[in-house]
Amino acid sequence: MQLRYNYRLYPTPGQRQALAKAFGCARVVYNDALRARQQALAAGLPYISDAELSTRVITEAKKIPQRAWLGEVSAVVLQQALADLNTAYRNFFASVTGKRKGPKVAPPRFKSRKDNRQAIRFTRNARFQVTAGGELRLPKIGDLKVKWSRDLPAEPSSVTVVKDAAGRYFASFVVQTPSQPLPETTAEAGIDLGLTHFAVLSDGRKIANPRFLRRAERRLRKAQQALSRKQKGSANRAKARARVAKAHARVADARRDFAHKLSTSIIRENQAVYVEDFAVSGLGRTRLAKSVHDAGWSAFVAMLEYKAARYGRTLVTIGRFEPTSQVCSTCGVLDGPKPLHVRSWTCTACSAVHDRDVNAARNILAAGRAERPKRLWRPGKTTACSGAGR
């Protein structure tokens, strides 16, 4: 399976300038190629092939004075920018024709130099390497200092250099790794995700909701107010914007760290894990939107997915319309819907007293066991995921 390993980079001022040049060249190639295809469509001309587009916006473009500076960066960076555009077009066409499931994919859009996130990718053709001294050597950029939090398990097939909104630099390595099955266990867990408690397990354990965004709201509000007072285009406004971005980055990092540790713990302890299929996009449009996004359910379930595949565990999702909060987990009687403020209730049939969330988790466990042959999440569908070493 393919996994991503992310590490912090600390480029020198000269290397920052070289990276900025590479970001800009990749963006220009992407925009030139997109413009060429849009103009061909408007003129009624045939769709420009990938090979012809590469010749036009890279090979031939380097020969004209207006684009001669494209030769100052690695050619692989430019080719990968073009590959990203081609992938975006294929996804768009597959979505329009119905071959791609899920939400509709919009056509590619132009990239801006003011985008909060900038990225370039190097493949093996670029001959990047990790030096004996532990630095990342990139063509036409140099040896970048890397903060190694763990060793790479295998030779990486590509590396993506990312600059985020907070001005931090990261190296994201794609590594092909074999699965590492853990010793089998008989334990299984149903998980009820919520807002009062982040997760309630079928064994009765309740994981408190950290509410990282809510706890940082005062600091974020003050930073945003300071930004709004700064004159547009000034250096002080740029510094204030960076402070806002760093404050948000701290919240995102804390949320990601929490989700990694909890998901790893659950996967290690249980042979099979059952979760409910939430409609997060729908809940994100309700009055609970801020709390829903602060919880980060989708990222947590995604971590459970790839860790289950990596460690030889089973993850099963049950339908979102299962009445897990309405059924008595003791006798199985459907007791009807209950308002959200009702946190405990007594079954009218067997007189069992239930905690609402624990009862739902037990019902998820039972429904997941019944649905397991039909809705089994298979390791072969694994996609690249960050934070693989956790």
The average confidence (pLDDT) of the chain is 91
Percent of the chain with pLDDT over 70: 95
- Check pLDDT > 90 for residue 22: yes
pLDDT band, very low/low/confident/very high, at 383 (cuts 50, 70, 90):
very low
pTM of the model: 0.88
- Report the pLDDT value the prediction gives residue 374, as an integer from 0 to 100: 53
Going from the C-alpha of 24 to that of each of 30, 121, 282, the distances in angstroms are: 10, 13, 36
- Catalytic residue at 357? yes
Going from the C-alpha of 54 to that of each of 59, 67, 73, 82, the distances in angstroms are: 7, 14, 16, 7
Tell me the per-residue pLDDT of 366-382, one tens digit each, with 9 for 90 and over: 999 888 765 444 444 43
Report the amino acid identity of residue 319: G
- Check pLDDT > 60 for residue 386: no
Tell me the per-residue pLDDT of 182-223, one tens digit each, with 9 for 90 and over: 999 999 999 999 999 999 999 999 999 999 999 999 999 999
For residue 140, the tally of other CB atoms under 10 A from its CB is: 14
- Report the pLDDT value the prediction gives residue 350, as an integer from 0 to 100: 87
Residue 9's SS3 state is strand
Percent of the chain with pLDDT over 90: 77
Q: In whole angstroms, give the CA distance from residue 170 to residue 7.
A: 6
Helix ranges restricted to H, 43-61: 50-54
Phi then psi dihedrals of residue 143, to 5 deg: -95, 115
Instruction: For tokens 């602060």, name the residue.
Output: 294
- Check pLDDT > 50 for residue 158: yes
Question: Active-site residue among 32, 84, 276, 294?
Answer: 276
- Which of 1.10.3450, 3.30.420, 1.20.1260, 3.30.2390 would CATH assign to domain 188-381? 3.30.420
Question: Active-site residue among 32, 84, 322, 357?
Answer: 357
How far is the first Cα of the chain from the last one, in angstroms, to the nearest whole number?
16
Over residues 307-320, the mean pLDDT reads 92
Question: Active-site residue among 32, 84, 188, 192?
Answer: 192
Tell me the per-residue pLDDT of 49-100, one tens digit each, with 9 for 90 and over: 999 999 999 999 999 999 999 999 999 999 999 999 999 999 999 999 999 9
pLDDT band, very low/low/confident/very high, at 117 (cuts 50, 70, 90):
very high
- Report the pLDDT value the prediction gives residue 282, as an integer from 0 to 100: 84
- Report the pLDDT value the prediction gives residue 380, as an integer from 0 to 100: 40
- Report the pLDDT value the prediction gives residue 373, as an integer from 0 to 100: 60
Per domain, the residue ranges of the chain are 2-176, 188-381
H or E element, residue 175? strand 169-176
Q: Name the more confident of 272 and 337.
A: 272
- Check pLDDT > 50 for residue 224: yes
